[in-house]
A and B are shown apart, each in its own frame.
Chain A
């Protein structure tokens, strides 16, 4: 303070002290300062004019005539099957919204509203939280899915409900319900984390994909937010609309799925806990992907009840999990063609080599049994595949080694990430000595032997099995995919086959195909029940039964072992992989029946029926869906 006074004193007493330039400066600075103060004075005067003298005029303009920008949620894109049949669409939904800026008494309005249309305590907490966090001109959703009665009651009482408006929105609708739930997925209202990432999600009616295609294609399906510019009066009532930008509706996603075939496949599976994948083996399009049991995806939009969730989560048949991509199973004997390929490529087996099966193989003091107690005698590769001899593949695996088997399996797509447009997929596992070491364990010779028949640590998904069958059939590294087109623009892989050839010699692949043909079509093959009943068309396939529990030798040798007498969860899984037509492969399929006991008895006839349906419908070669559904299904739930 004192310093300042001194400054002023010095300034006043010696205006041009020290130097001429200081004198000039002080005079001129005072001129500048004077001009600046005058400018501030003018601004203050102008402000007085605007705020006080003309204030009323502008204030009235504010009351009567205000332009407001309101955002509108774009319609979410539809999901259709390959023939354009909607599998996820939007349904009209009447809902009540509250515009917080238009009511002075929010709790009172809420109380009066819930007297007309009850609001649950949980919802009320959410509403109050949203009112606190959102901007006051963003409407908050009070109640979804209003009935006509509810709407009438609200409209009648409108005067006592300031700020409440009824709005028509859309809700996600899945016409096929549980049939395609795992593929299409479902949507749910955005959580607070989603809103933090993208403010526009706060608009009522916006949805976020939480599973399946809805999740992985969320960005495309969501579209661009639009805006309306409206004139509103003092209380925010809409006076007129000035401009409208509808935004960009979400893209329409066309799936590779044929919903009719999907329905037929589910009809064949019935109520077994099972999974089936049907693919076009030339271009990788997934035509049907069934995981049973399933759930109703539309329940998630309005909120799933605690009891329902509990029921799904504790069901041992895992309805919420898409078994086709997230269920991992030991492949059992379906793994044998991959082992054979590894051996052919490694040179440890030639197509003419014979191996003798006495019914068991002794390695390092352990005896490994063939499924046939009496043995198969001397076998070539083709015969070993045909009879599904275990000893043959024990020996082949022993000669070839696990690293080569793993390499061939990975080439076939087994134990790899297939990059399909679905979330929560599991890669499965082809074990190697290195993997075992990484887990601090030692790899035993016996581990290789049991891996030779797809047991032990080997785990694959049904989708991988279908890809594997496709690759054997086509000789190309086809990748399975579900999205055929986006808003009518076909994806690159929709037509023809551009997939690179597998790194496997064609004669070797042919050995596998011949063996798989023999399994189904030759006398004494292991899956005669898979023979097609279509003249001139043959199917090639391979059975598999995967133990889920160790069976002791004593029990097996007692002769009284019958796995069908075991409790359900201890029975072996039944598997089957196949492709058809044999001479010009077009379709490939994989079927896994959880705890279905035996591949040959349970999965093979299922595969025959599914392949028959597929060939009859022939979805890859049609533009329009066939007229009638092949298998009538009463209720696909």
Chain B
């Protein structure tokens, strides 16, 4: 009862239908198109069957879609209040996954709660964007000259990054760090501050390499020379390249990719789903998927720029960058451009945790669009 009252006070014009009308349905259509590509790819990954991948994934997408629309209707006032509890929860889960998470492929990443597999680092990314946007919304551009105002948000970035690196999940740790840095950049961090920060970076990189786990070092070395160990760590990269190559310009045809269908391609329903698409649909299909992903990023950035409050802008920037990094890291990985690390292709790869957090992120983005004209509690000195 109390909560409802507070909600209504925070949002006086609680008119759901009007807000639903405001949702950017063109963008939703784009999301659905990508999910459709995912369905077709997973159908093929199962050898031409909706079980066991495509069917369950569609159900998750449907749930995610409903969740996205619900989040889109929440006003930024509510979201700024939710930011801190959500961030706290994600930190608790990150600690929990370190203590009692399930070890998958040499790294602790999964947490099982009530039979549902959860990847806390996914949630942490979204929560971090939310909490950073909340912070910089209240701190004015002018006040940011004082580095003291940058210290708390820096801590907000470093704590989850540290916890994720300790899991150890190098790929996700770097992604979280870059997402955080981008929000800093967008919020108006001065260039001299950035320059000052970049100076000790090479030293830090050396330190980080010495703390890498053996399997992560193996990934980096085999990446440099994959043919050295064709059945070991380099196997995935070689098989992925062979599959891409055998796809050629026009592809081998849907459901007829030899490498994917013959199971040479490892983890083809998760990390290497793009390889499978590019093998069956060729360069034409691959570039079409990349084009769709680009449209998603551009749309997200435009939504961010359109917002008339700092919170919405930074939220949009963070979500769009997060989505971009997912795509870029996954695509580089399957093309053998960066070392392999378990980063799925959003909306297309099989996996419930990633799907739901990505859709939650799009819900936030959509909320920024729906409430783009809202002005509230901004620590801004209006001109």
Please encode chain A, from 22 to 40, with 1 for each CB lying within 8 Å of some chain B CB and 0 for all others.
1011101110110011011
Cβ of B84 under 8 Å from chain A: no
Residue of B with least CB distance to A133: B49
Comparing B117-125, B161-169, B295-303, the segment that makes contact with chain A is B295-303
Q: Which of B245, B248, B298 contacts A61 (CB 8 A)?
A: B245
Within 8 A of B (CB), among A1-50: 1, 3-4, 7-8, 10-11, 17-22, 24-26, 28-30, 32-33, 36-37, 39-40, 43-44, 46-48, 50
Count of interface residues, chain A, beta-carbon cutoff 8 Å: 53
Indicate if the CB atoms of A52 and B263 lie closer than 8 Å. no
Indicate if the CB atoms of B248 and A52 lie closer than 8 Å. yes
Contact flag A137-B382 (CB < 8 Å), given A43-B328, A51-B248: no
Please encode chain B, from 14 to 46, with 1 for each CB lying within 8 Å of some chain A CB and 0 for all others.
000000000010100000000000000000000
Report the separation of the CA atoms of residues A50 and B274 in the bound assembly, to the nearest whole angstrom: 13
Cβ of B85 under 8 Å from chain A: no
Residues on B with C-beta less than 8 A from A47 are 244, 278, 283, 286-287, 290, 331, 335
Q: Which of B142, B282, B317 contacts A32 (CB 8 A)?
A: B317
Indicate if the CB atoms of B263 and A68 lie closer than 8 Å. yes
Cβ of B353 under 8 Å from chain A: no
Report the separation of the CA atoms of residues A62 and B264 in the bound assembly, to the nearest whole angstrom: 10
Residues on A with C-beta less than 8 A from B231 are 67, 229, 242-243
Residue of B with least CB distance to A50: B244
Residues on B with C-beta less than 8 A from A101 are 261-262
Cβ of A55 under 8 Å from chain B: yes
**Residue picked from A19, A26, A62, most chain B C-beta under 10 Å:** A62
Cβ of A129 under 8 Å from chain B: no
Cβ of B306 under 8 Å from chain A: yes
Report the separation of the CA atoms of residues A120 and B185 in the bound assembly, to the nearest whole angstrom: 74
Residue of B with least CB distance to A49: B335
Residues on B with C-beta less than 8 A from A18 are 308, 382
Cβ of A56 under 8 Å from chain B: yes
Indicate if the CB atoms of B141 and A21 lie closer than 8 Å. yes
Q: Which of A24, A26, A40, A56 contacts B290 (CB 8 A)?
A: A40
Cβ of A69 under 8 Å from chain B: yes
Report the separation of the CA atoms of residues A504 and B306 in the bound assembly, to the nearest whole angstrom: 90
**Residue picked from A19, A44, A136, most chain B C-beta under 10 Å:** A19
Report the separation of the CA atoms of residues A255 and B78 in the bound assembly, to the nearest whole angstrom: 71
Residues on A with C-beta less than 8 A from B230 are 67
Report the separation of the CA atoms of residues A24 and B328 in the bound assembly, to the nearest whole angstrom: 26
**Residue picked from A32, A57, A135, A243, most chain B C-beta under 10 Å:** A32
Indicate if the CB atoms of B306 and A55 lie closer than 8 Å. no
Closest Cβ of chain A to B329, distance in Å, is: 10
Report the separation of the CA atoms of residues A36 and B142 in the bound assembly, to the nearest whole angstrom: 28
Closest Cβ of chain B to A228, distance in Å, is: 13
Residues on A with C-beta less than 8 A from B239 are 67
Contact flag A7-B302 (CB < 8 Å), given A25-B186, A51-B286, A68-B262: yes
Indicate if the CB atoms of B337 and A46 lie closer than 8 Å. yes
Secondary structure dominating the interface of A: helix
Cβ of B247 under 8 Å from chain A: yes
Indicate if the CB atoms of A58 and B337 lie closer than 8 Å. no
Indicate if the CB atoms of A48 and B283 lie closer than 8 Å. yes
Indicate if the CB atoms of B297 and A7 lie closer than 8 Å. no
Residue of B with least CB distance to A54: B245
Indicate if the CB atoms of B328 and A62 lie closer than 8 Å. no
Residue of A with least CB distance to B185: A28
Residues on B with C-beta less than 8 A from A242 are 231
Residues on B with C-beta less than 8 A from A28 are 185-186, 188
Secondary structure dominating the interface of B: helix
Indicate if the CB atoms of A4 and B290 lie closer than 8 Å. no
Cβ of B88 under 8 Å from chain A: no
Indicate if the CB atoms of B261 and A136 lie closer than 8 Å. yes
Report the separation of the CA atoms of residues A21 and B313 in the bound assembly, to the nearest whole angstrom: 10
Closest Cβ of chain B to A20, distance in Å, is: 5
Report the separation of the CA atoms of residues A601 and B204 in the bound assembly, to the nearest whole angstrom: 97
Indicate if the CB atoms of A29 and B264 lie closer than 8 Å. no
Residue of B with least CB distance to A243: B231
Closest Cβ of chain B to A23, distance in Å, is: 9
Within 8 A of A (CB), among B158-198: 182, 185-188
Residue of A with least CB distance to B328: A39
Report the separation of the CA atoms of residues A51 and B279 in the bound assembly, to the nearest whole angstrom: 9
Cβ of A124 under 8 Å from chain B: no
Report the separation of the CA atoms of residues A4 and B287 in the bound assembly, to the nearest whole angstrom: 25
Closest Cβ of chain B to A197, distance in Å, is: 14
Q: Which of A39, A43, A61, A66 contacts B335 (CB 8 A)?
A: A43
Report the separation of the CA atoms of residues A51 and B285 in the bound assembly, to the nearest whole angstrom: 11
Contact flag A50-B335 (CB < 8 Å), given A33-B297, A56-B245, A59-B246: yes
Contact flag A37-B186 (CB < 8 Å), given A57-B245, A66-B262: no
Q: Which of A4, A21, A36, A61 contacts B380 (CB 8 A)?
A: A21
Cβ of B324 under 8 Å from chain A: yes
Cβ of B59 under 8 Å from chain A: no
Indicate if the CB atoms of A137 and B245 lie closer than 8 Å. no
Residues on A with C-beta less than 8 A from B283 are 47-48, 51-52
Residues on A with C-beta less than 8 A from B258 are 62
Indicate if the CB atoms of A32 and B244 lie closer than 8 Å. no
Closest Cβ of chain A to B370, distance in Å, is: 11
Cβ of B47 under 8 Å from chain A: yes
Indicate if the CB atoms of A19 and B380 lie closer than 8 Å. yes
Indicate if the CB atoms of B287 and A44 lie closer than 8 Å. yes
Indicate if the CB atoms of B186 and A55 lie closer than 8 Å. no
Closest Cβ of chain B to A58, distance in Å, is: 2
Cβ of B89 under 8 Å from chain A: no
Report the separation of the CA atoms of residues A1 and B231 in the bound assembly, to the nearest whole angstrom: 52
Cβ of B222 under 8 Å from chain A: no
Contact flag A29-B383 (CB < 8 Å), given A21-B141, A21-B310: no
Closest Cβ of chain B to A617, distance in Å, is: 55
Cβ of B95 under 8 Å from chain A: no
Closest Cβ of chain B to A237, distance in Å, is: 13
Report the separation of the CA atoms of residues A57 and B241 in the bound assembly, to the nearest whole angstrom: 10
**Residue picked from B306, B314, B380, most chain A C-beta under 10 Å:** B306
Contact flag A40-B293 (CB < 8 Å), given A51-B249, A55-B245, A229-B231: yes
Q: Which of B278, B313, B332, B335 contacts A22 (CB 8 A)?
A: B313
Residue of B with least CB distance to A20: B141
Residues on B with C-beta less than 8 A from A48 are 283, 287
Residues on B with C-beta less than 8 A from A229 are 231
Given contacts A22-B313, A52-B248, A66-B259, 16 further A-B contacts (CB under 8 A): A4-B26, A8-B302, A10-B306, A19-B383, A22-B310, A28-B188, A29-B305, A33-B297, A40-B293, A40-B327, A43-B331, A47-B278, A51-B248, A67-B235, A69-B263, A137-B262
Q: List 5 A-B contacts (CB under 8 A).
A: A24-B141, A25-B305, A43-B337, A58-B244, A67-B239
Sorted nearest first, the 9 A-B pairs with minimum C-beta distance are A58-B245, A21-B141, A62-B246, A51-B283, A59-B246, A24-B188, A55-B248, A33-B301, A50-B244
Residues of A near any B CB (own CB < 8 A) = 1, 3-4, 7-8, 10-11, 17-22, 24-26, 28-30, 32-33, 36-37, 39-40, 43-44, 46-48, 50-52, 54-59, 61-63, 66-69, 101, 135-137, 229, 242-243
Residues of B near any A CB (own CB < 8 A) = 24, 26, 47, 140-142, 182, 185-188, 230-231, 235, 239, 241-249, 258-259, 261-264, 278, 282-283, 286-287, 290, 293-294, 297-298, 301-302, 304-306, 308, 310, 313-314, 317, 321, 324, 327-328, 331-332, 335, 337, 378, 380, 382-383
